[in-house]
Amino acid sequence: MSTIIQLADGHSKRLHVKGASEIVLESCTHYLDASGAKQPIDDQMMNMINDIIKNYAKNALRTIAFAYKDIPEGLGGPTHEDLVPGSKIAQVEANDNVLIGIAGIMDIIRDEVPAAVSQCNFAGVRVRMVTGDNKVTAIAIAKQCGILAEDEGDEECVCMEGPEFYDYVGKMIYKDTGEEVVIMGLEGRKDYETVGDI
């Protein structure tokens, strides 16, 4: 999400951006250091920031990044709303942003959830989780809920992100004709012998 504000001088404008840290970070070329000074993001700093994001994710924290950019007049059109060709991203937010910081947010798991998952498993119902979190965060939360055991998560198809899933099932559209899938059967699939677990 981005917002453009008018600065106190009455002439300058500033863009403020917040969103998924991996996406916002891609648009940043600088960061604010501990003293508030603007510094370039070199490879070492980029690796350090990515390590922080991964560490937060492993601890079941969703990360949000905050960035800003001072906008020159006319950048991205007269009202700064022009999009990058072929995308839904505004030109003003696509690059040259300054990273302010990254916040880790935890969704508190209700006390009854692990017990409910355990009861489902005992009854022979396999619980599946669909989330907007990144893969590392999703695995950490699934382990806290009891959906995955501590030693699970790295196996192929135990956890996958949206693009992987769509590729795996044919994007829910017939690749040859472009028609939407109406019914999907699993008969004859060697990799899904236990249909009850699906």
Is residue 186 over pLDDT 60?
Answer: no
The crossing angle, in degrees rounded to 10, of helices 112-122 and 135-145 is: 80
- The rounded distance, in Å, linking the Cα atoms of 64 and 184 is 36
- The rounded distance, in Å, linking the Cα atoms of 106 and 196 is 33
Contacts (Cβ under 8 Å, ≥6 apart) of 103 = 63, 64, 65, 66
The verdict on 120 and 191 lying in the same domain is no
The verdict on 40 and 85 lying in the same domain is yes
**Domain that includes residue 27, residue range:** 2-105
The verdict on 7 and 95 lying in the same domain is yes
The verdict on 10 and 87 lying in the same domain is yes
Q: In 57-68, which positions are buried (b, 16+ CB within 10 angstroms) versus exposed (e)?
A: beebbbbbbbbb
Indicate the pLDDT class of residue 185, thresholds 50, 70 and 90. low
Strand partners for 173: 180
Hey, CA dihedral for 175, 179, 184, 186, is it positive or negative? negative
pLDDT in the model for residue 129: 87
Is residue 193 over pLDDT 50?
Answer: no
The verdict on 113 and 101 lying in the same domain is no
For all residues of the chain together, what is the average pLDDT? Answer: 83
